[in-house]
Structure 1
Amino acid sequence: MVFTILLITLAVIVGIQFIYYIFIFGQFSFAKKTTSTTLTKVPVSVIVCAKNEVENIKKFFPILITQNYPEYEIVLIDDASTDETLELFEEYEKEYTNVKVVKVKNNETFWGNKKYALTLGIKAAKNDYLLFTDADCFPNTKNWISQMAEQFTNEKSIILGYGAYEKIKNSFLNKIIRLETLLTATQYFGWAKIGKPYMGVGRNLAYTKKEFYSAGGFIEHMKVRSGDDDLFVNQVANKSNTAICFTPESFTYSEPKKSFKDWFNQKRRHVSTAKLYKGFDRFQLGLFYISQLLFILLAVILLAFQFEWMLVLGLIIFRYAFTWVSLGYAAGKLNEKDTLPWFPIIEILLIFTQLNVFFTNLFSKPVHWK
């Protein structure tokens, strides 16, 4: 009787996963690229916040300053750096007429708070259309601004882009990081396509000043160190005002973590904001994670006791078949196909890493902005 209940539960779990991967994530996975209705290229302010990032700025600034776009400025925010970041910014400001530097001094109230620094940068920006990336990121092409900005319309004032990680040969950790990034993007793009946007990534995100000021900036979550991207999107994004951009020319790339410890700490920071999402978003994310965990546990238990093993095996094969189809199409769009053969193994690692992150964050706070 107990095993029968477990088998029925496994079937229900597979059904839940099917709904997620095919009907929700599939909205992005199987979507065709749509052309924008924008008739003119709007002036854009690119916002880059940096704290002790002088080496990354040297590498990536040349890609920003040579973008193929008629009218844009680059707002470089130095958040009280102790290296030569500010000096380098000031050199760029002297050399290029479309570069503006914002100097942020340590503030007792907002010490080490990236949202405070970003707020000052947004206020200093001269254009109404804002495009954000991080100091350790670089656009994939010189058409990054063009691809992201063309998604703006009279109705669409928030644009969610894809922030990828560079590939490192012969690194299994790199495959873990990139497959997780693929799965996360497939989720938030899929939910955005059905009119329920819940997050975006600051490595590649755009919105208007009007949206920022209408929401009162970051005031609702200013005391939370993380969340300048996902918490803001969760607060203001809706079916009417949000669009996604997933052309390869619009991607940004970041250098991934090289050690499991660094990656784990990064995950702790990212996960720490999810508890502040809207109720429905917390529910759907929680249900998806629980369905993943239960699928693995129930499949292992039923196979171990060889209870209706052919039926159990059929459910397992069916489940991996539709997940691979959905993620396969998504990976094709996001140039991450080489991670898919490792999906069954990496998924299990991600599930239990997430569990570890949850319990670790219960007993200690993650370290945030540098």
Structure 2
Amino acid sequence: MLLFDVLFYVFIAIVAIQIIYYGFIFGKFASVKQKKTSAKNQPVSVIICAKNEAENLKTNLPSILSQAYLSFEVVLINDNSSDDTLQVMQAFSKDHENIKIVNVKPIEAFWGNKKYALTLGIKAAKYNTLLFTDADCRPTSKHWISKMSERFDSQKTLVLGYGPYQKIKGSLLNLLIRFETFMTAVQYFSYALLGQTYMAVGRNLAYRKELFFEANGFMDHMKVLSGDDDLFVNQVASKKNTAICIAKQSFTESVPKHTFSEWFLQKRRHVSTASHYKLKHKVLLALFYCSQFLFWGLSIILLIVLHQWQIVVGLISLRFIVQYTTLYSAAAKLKEKDLILFVPFLELFLITFQFFIFIKNLSSKPQHWK
């Protein structure tokens, strides 16, 4: 019985930690009301780095080129593609004067490194305000550039946006991918609002060109093949220079992976990059994951043995009430309310999924960004 008494008190502590995360940390984003800002019409360079993305460019470039914005250019970076990516870019450029093409040839020192290609694109950009997305993404409205650029001011030189994945009816994998993306966004938006910005997604990210050069670009982590978005943000973000944009018209939507193996490889790359975050951010993220893992594990054990089961049920209920309250509000902001009904199942699967990724990454590291 002593063992179960110890587990019971540990469980109480874990529930308290979970409530702090969901009720206070993530609650910061759930309760935020973003102030309206006026359009600034500052010129913007939209930057897209593409490697073997010919078909995606044909599909998504029109929605970028048709943005309702006064002054913008589109910098298309062909990162040594082996398909018709360059030819597609050139075809679009014949009809659009605001397209600039950067054709990157591989060099031995930076073979397969997206950051090298992006650096060349950033240097070629005409304007100081840079807005990034991927070739497999499309803005959900004609006001994407406008809404993202509105968040800049004299102090805010870094803007974090949201990049959801398309909804596919009847797909379990789609639910899992969208839930993981949603939870990641809740975390990075919440920490940004608390002045502890640790990451962003390159599908929808903006910053000043001067910020890039002041940080010496990607040089501090150039040898890490991924992380052109999150590692750079982890390096340069501060409480004063970071803003978030959660207007529905500012979202970019991507096509999700079609198989578990493709998604598994993608998430392995993301998790391996997170090991390079600042220590305080790694501790905060690890504590949240461990508290989730222990919450489920100890809940199951204590309910099976019926140890103080009335209190255990009460604590489980309290935790889920706080979690659902926060996530429902956050999902309403990010237009993901259909996920909330499945939260317990999706959360349990995601915890297990992340555990296997961690184990796999201990033995090997994913290579190349494509």
Q: TM-score range by the shorter chain?
A: over 0.9
1-structure distance, mates of 2:261, 2:296: 25
Query: Aligned with 1:100: secondary structure?
Result: strand
Change (3 A) 1:144 1:39: closer
Counterpart check, 1:190 vs 2:190: yes
Could you tell me how far 1:94 is from its partner in structure 2? Answer: 2.3
2-structure distance, mates of 1:338, 1:262: 24
Partner of 1:199: 199
Q: For each residue in 1:234-255, what CA deviation from the matched residue of structure 2 results, as whole angstroms up to 9, or x when unmatched?
A: 0000100000000110000110
Could you tell me how far 1:268 is from its partner in structure 2? Answer: 0.2
Contact preservation (8 Å) 2:136, 2:255: yes
Q: How does 1:36-51 map to 2 (within 5 A)?
A: 36=37, 40-51=40-51
Structure 1 length normalisation: TM-score? 0.98
Query: Aligned with 1:164: secondary structure?
Result: coil
Counterpart check, 1:236 vs 2:236: yes
Q: Residue type matched to 1:238 in 2? A: S
2-structure distance, mates of 1:360, 1:40: 47
Q: Residue type matched to 1:72 in 2? A: F
Contact preservation (8 Å) 2:17, 2:291: yes
Contact preservation (8 Å) 1:269, 1:368: no
1-structure distance, mates of 2:368, 2:343: 29
Q: For each residue in 1:109-140, what CA deviation from the matched residue of structure 2 results, as whole angstroms up to 9, or x when unmatched?
A: 11111000000000000000000000000001
Q: Residue type matched to 2:81 in 1? A: S
Q: For each residue in 1:255-281, what CA deviation from the matched residue of structure 2 results, as whole angstroms up to 9, or x when unmatched?
A: 011111111111101111111000100
Could you tell me how far 1:368 is from its partner in structure 2? Answer: 3.1
1-structure distance, mates of 2:87, 2:55: 12
Q: Residue type matched to 1:25 in 2? A: F
Structure 1 spans left out of the alignment, 5+ residues: none
Partner of 1:347: 347
Q: For each residue in 1:191-211, what CA deviation from the matched residue of structure 2 results, as whole angstroms up to 9, or x when unmatched?
A: 000111000000000000111
Runs of 4+ in 1 over 4 A off after TM superposition: none
- Provide the alpha-carbon RMSD of the alignment: 0.9
Counterpart check, 1:5 vs 2:10: no
Contact preservation (8 Å) 1:227, 1:273: yes
Partner of 2:26: 25
Could you tell me how far 1:39 is from its partner in structure 2? Answer: 6.2
Contact preservation (8 Å) 2:40, 2:149: no
1-structure distance, mates of 2:91, 2:122: 21
Could you tell me how far 1:367 is from its partner in structure 2? Answer: 3.1
Partner of 1:115: 115
Partner of 1:98: 98
Counterpart check, 1:64 vs 2:64: yes
Partner of 2:216: 216
Partner of 1:256: 256
Query: Aligned with 1:165: secondary structure?
Result: coil
Q: How does 1:134-145 map to 2 (within 5 A)?
A: 134-145=134-145
Taking every aligned residue pair, what percent have the same amino acid on both sides? 54
Partner of 1:247: 247
Structure 2 length normalisation: TM-score? 0.98
Q: How does 1:243-322 map to 2 (within 5 A)?
A: 243-322=243-322
Partner of 2:161: 161
Q: For each residue in 1:18-37, what CA deviation from the matched residue of structure 2 results, as whole angstroms up to 9, or x when unmatched?
A: 1111111111111112123x
Q: Residue type matched to 2:66 in 1? A: T
Contact preservation (8 Å) 1:28, 1:190: yes
